[in-house]
């Protein structure tokens, strides 16, 4: 689907609660490589509150919108770390992930960052791979009583 109606903007604190809802939607409502129990452990409810706001405020957060509605976000933390990368299920397959990543890559280059890296879910691994990221290592992390597989990926700029 064309991204002719898509645009990006940098998030402000007034967006943070909405970003928690987008993350919840992305993890809990779309097709997934994870079980419902794993997804519930990962994101039991939309994130919000002081700790969430502080974590986002310390990063550059890009929001992608279609028809004026925010449908995804991606964040760049210190050291070239992509902390968050989420799209609502209905927004997938439209080139929006690429659009967000390109904006973060530009920001990283402006800062002299030579490598981006992230802990990537099984769901996001194909998108990161398609955009030039390579797996550094695979791991399983415990979240509550659940075990979730993921990988650490990187891309040289």
pLDDT, position 4: 56
Q: What is the distance between the alpha carbons of residues 77 and 112, in angstroms, rounded to a whole number?
A: 14
Task: Output the pLDDT for position 1.
Answer: 43
Local confidence pLDDT in tens for the 157 residues of the chain:
444 589 999 999 999 999 999 999 999 998 999 999 999 999 999 999 999 999 999 999 999 999 999 999 999 999 999 999 999 999 999 999 999 999 999 999 999 999 999 999 999 999 999 999 999 999 999 999 999 999 999 999 9
> For the chain, what are the domain ranges?
6-112
Question: In this structure, which topology does domain 6-112 adopt according to CATH?
Answer: Aminopeptidase (3.40.630)
Question: In the 8-state DSSP scheme, what is residue 151?
Answer: E
Q: Which pLDDT does position 69 carry in this prediction?
A: 94
H or E element at residue 34: none
- N residues, the chain: 157
Q: Side-chain half-sphere of 55: how many Cα atoms within 13 Å?
A: 16
Report which DSSP code applies to 2. Answer: -
What is the predicted pLDDT for the residue at 152?
Answer: 98
């Amino acid at each position: 689907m064309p991204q002719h109606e898509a645009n990006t903007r940098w998030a402000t604190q007034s967006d943070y609660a909405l970003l928690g809802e987008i993350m919840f939607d992305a993890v809990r409502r779309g097709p997934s490589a994870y079980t419902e129990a794993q997804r519930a452990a990962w994101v039991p409810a939309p994130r919000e509150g002081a700790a969430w706001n502080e974590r986002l405020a310390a990063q550059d957060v890009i929001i992608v919108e279609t028809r004026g509605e925010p449908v995804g976000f991606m964040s760049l933390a210190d050291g070239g770390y992509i902390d968050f990368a989420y799209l609502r299920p209905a927004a997938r397959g439209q080139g929006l992930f690429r659009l967000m990543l390109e904006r973060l890559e530009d920001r990283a280059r402006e800062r002299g960052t030579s490598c981006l890296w992230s802990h990537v879910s099984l769901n996001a691994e194909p998108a990161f791979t398609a955009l030039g990221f390579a797996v550094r290592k695979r791991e399983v992390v415990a979240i509550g009583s659940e075990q979730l597989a993921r990988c650490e990926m990187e891309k040289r700029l």
